[in-house]
A = this chain, B = another copy of it.
């Protein structure tokens, strides 16, 4: 009989940070079964008491001590959670005293700032970049000169989700360009891309995976066939190599990993932190 342990992600804000923190730690415990519950906006002692009730109910029901990952600024609210039957792993409790020691100053606690609009111009950049990505998707609009990154690859190689992630998470102006049959035959990029070569990044993907993805969009089409996918990818990789454009494969990488790699390789890190 295996236990499914309840895990709570609790915060005075969105609890997105608490979720990220908890999920990262739980990836280290593969054999275990967890039942995750996110509880955002716990910003008062009263709400904390409600959460304690939920924690204690889960403890009884599961017959297992719940884990509580929390990012709650107000120590009085955290203290309430600590009276529960669960184990509270609180980010601020652990790390703030050590940072205070290094910077030689006490913190100035404010609630729920991590995923709020703490830096307005930063936040607006992210929203503007998202609009930019939407209007510069699949080469529809071709003002590539103001882009910071231009992703190049065959249709369905992962360009759009990666652009949106770069925009929404990092505020990067990311455009994308789908290689056409003409580009692939001439083994040459169009002039408006060549003059932006330092911004180009190529995406590739295994032919089998590409065929699968295309098949869900246009079942039985030539577009989705293995031979078409294999030819397109081969030609695209030849072209990108000939043009000296860096390439990353999206087959086994997430948008987070691809975006991260691109920012480092194109030296865009600093501007976007």
Contacts and interface: CB of A to CB of B under 8 A. Distances in A.
Nearest to A108: B30
Contact of A160 (B94, B130, B259): B130
Interface residues of A, number: 76
Q: Kindly report how many copies of this chain are found in the complex they form together.
A: 2
A26 B24 CA distance: 20
Given A15-B260, A24-B71, A257-B14, A89 B98 contact: yes
Nearest to A256: B115
Contacts of A99: 25-26, 28-29, 67, 87, 89
A130 B159 CA distance: 12
A273 B36 contact: yes
A105 interface: yes
A240 B28 CA distance: 45
A14 B256 contact: yes
| 3 smallest beta-carbon distances between A and B, as pairs | A115-B256, A14-B260, A28-B107
